[in-house]
Structure 1
Amino acid sequence: MFDFQNLTYKIGPKTLLQQVSGRARPGELVAVVGANGAGKSTLLRLLSGDLRPSAGTLTFAGRPLGDWIPGRLARRRAVLTQQHTLALAFQVQELVLLGRYPHFGGQPTAHDHAVVAAALAAVGLSHLAGRSYPTLSGGEQQRAQLARVLAQVWEAEGGFLLLDEPLTGLDLRHQHHTLDVARRLTRERGFGVVAVLHDLNLTAQYADQVLLMRQGRAIACGLPAEVLTSENILEGFDIEVELLEHPRLNCPLIVPLGNNEVIGKE
């Protein structure tokens, strides 16, 4: 479990994150939402250990994150960042095999290759295993990167995935497929997932917990129905919405009303 209390992060005089608290538990998908510049990616970089907090506490599995040996941490949690720089033209299966590096010494084993095949199957890319990564579409590249982080923590008990905008470049079908993969990992294998998302309807449909942020602060944290209210969304995004009952799913349908409604009431 990730437990963070009063996390603050500053660069010089500028505060990017201020006293944000929350928990991410195994078996749950936590969505972090908010407008551009809300501090979502900064929070994820703190959880990944890429940044160190200026103040506050951050623990993973009951230990301060900074006390973890990097190799052991890499076998328990994996991070999907927004930007993916790849200098060499790896095959897709070779890229995914990079996620297995924390698990073997000199050479990958048959088990490592089997995990790569399973991770590619999970994201629907088995048929592209031998393709050169740069020849893939943006959405296919994003799914290949997801397979890489899946392979990294594939057999971990209480493994965690930190996903920064994992739906970027994906079409509608694969947006749902990616979140369905994440949710099945939480349900069937006890994984914890923290994902930065932009689509509030997808958040309402798939998330177990939601952290809504604005300008480096947490506005609300809890169940989707508690957090994704019209009042909270207005505070977080400066736009009015109407919440309708979804005709088929047990979650709200969020309909933006546009900026004119907000401007007209000022």
Structure 2
Amino acid sequence: MFDVQNLSYLAGRRPLLRDVTLRARPGELLAVVGANGAGKSTLLRLLSGDLTPSAGTVQFEGRPLRSIPPAVLARRRAVLTQQHPLALAFPVRELVLMGRYPHFRGQPAPPDHAVVQQALALVGLAPLAGRSYPTLSGGEQQRAQLARVLAQVWEAEAGFLLLDEPLTGLDLNHQHHTLEVARALVRRGFGVVAVLHDLNLAAQYADQLLLLRQGEVVAGGPPAAVLTPAHIRHAFDLDVELLPHPTLGCPLIVPVPRPAAVAPGCWPTPAL
């Protein structure tokens, strides 16, 4: 479990997070939502240990995060970041095998290669295992990176995945498939913390939501309690209506049409 108390982070003198408290538990998917610049990715980087808090504490499994040896932590939680710069022509299977590095010394064993194949099959990339990573589409690269982090914590008991915008570049089918994979992990007892932009997907798949605005918590709790018109208006400066989902027990969020945001006079006059 991640136990975060009164967490704040400053970039120079600029506060990116202020007094955030949350608990992320095994067996739950916690979605972090909010407008651009709300502090979502900063929060995930603090949970991963990439950043050091300016104030407050982050504990993982009852211990201060900073006190856990990196090799131990790497076998218990994996992180999918937004950016994946990799220009070298690694085959996809070799990229995914990188997720197994915390589990072997020297050379990978047959069980490591078996995990790689299972992770690739789970994300639907087994036929592309021999392809060069840079030749993949953006969505295929995202799925390959997901396979890598899955391979990293494949055998963990009550492990954790931290996913920063895992749906970037994915089509509608693979967006849902990725979140279905996350739900399958949750059913296995994993904890998942995912930064998501689509509120309807967050409402459909998450057990808990944390809604941020300019580095502060607007609301936290079950989707129905967090995704209210008032909370969404405060966080996104957007009026919405909530409709009952026709088949699921979650709210369906529909933006309210508003007058044109760009006045006609703002467009340049075409040259004659």
With normalisation by structure 1, the TM-score equals: 0.96
1:110-158 deviations in Å (ceiling 9; x for gaps):
0000000110111111111111111111000000000000000000011
The Cα shift of 1:11 comes to: 1.7
RMSD over aligned Cα atoms: 1.1
* Counterpart-to-counterpart distance in 1, 2:259 and 2:25: 39
Alignment of 1:22 onto 2:22: yes
Contact 1:239 1:258 in 2 (8 A): no
Structure 2 equivalent of residue 237 of structure 1: 236
Please list, as runs of the form range in 1=range in 2, the aligned pairs for 1:142-153 lying within 5 A after superposition.
Answer: 142-153=142-153
**Which SS does the other structure have where 1:33 is aligned?**
strand
Structure 1 equivalent of residue 196 of structure 2: 197
Residue identity (%): 75
* Counterpart-to-counterpart distance in 1, 2:51 and 2:211: 21
1:170-195 deviations in Å (ceiling 9; x for gaps):
000000000000011101x1110000
Which stretches in structure 2 are left out of the alignment for 5+ residues?
262-272
* Paired residue type of 1:210: L
* Paired residue type of 2:3: D
The Cα shift of 1:258 comes to: 3.7
Alignment of 1:154 onto 2:165: no
Structure 2 equivalent of residue 67 of structure 1: 67
Contact 2:87 2:134 in 1 (8 A): no
**Which SS does the other structure have where 1:53 is aligned?**
coil
**Which SS does the other structure have where 1:78 is aligned?**
strand
The Cα shift of 1:261 comes to: 10
Structure 2 equivalent of residue 100 of structure 1: 100
Aligned length: 261
**Which SS does the other structure have where 1:127 is aligned?**
helix
**Which SS does the other structure have where 1:169 is aligned?**
coil
Contact 1:212 1:218 in 2 (8 A): yes
**Which SS does the other structure have where 2:183 is aligned?**
helix
Q: Based on CA coordinates, which of the two structures has the bigger radius of gyration?
A: 2
Please list, as runs of the form range in 1=range in 2, the aligned pairs for 1:1-266 lying within 5 A after superposition.
Answer: 1-187=1-187, 189-260=188-259
* Paired residue type of 2:205: Y
Contact 1:240 1:261 in 2 (8 A): no
* Counterpart-to-counterpart distance in 1, 2:219 and 2:31: 12
* Counterpart-to-counterpart distance in 2, 1:221 and 1:261: 32
1:192-230 deviations in Å (ceiling 9; x for gaps):
000000000000000000000000001000000000111
Q: Which moved more, 1:245-254 or 1:63-72?
A: 245-254
**Which SS does the other structure have where 2:256 is aligned?**
strand
With normalisation by structure 2, the TM-score equals: 0.94
Q: Which moved more, 1:85-94 or 1:138-147?
A: 85-94
* Paired residue type of 1:164: D
* Counterpart-to-counterpart distance in 1, 2:123 and 2:152: 14
Which stretches in structure 1 are left out of the alignment for 5+ residues?
none
C-alpha change, 1:228 and 1:109, in structure 2 (3 Å) is same
Moved over 6 A (4+): none
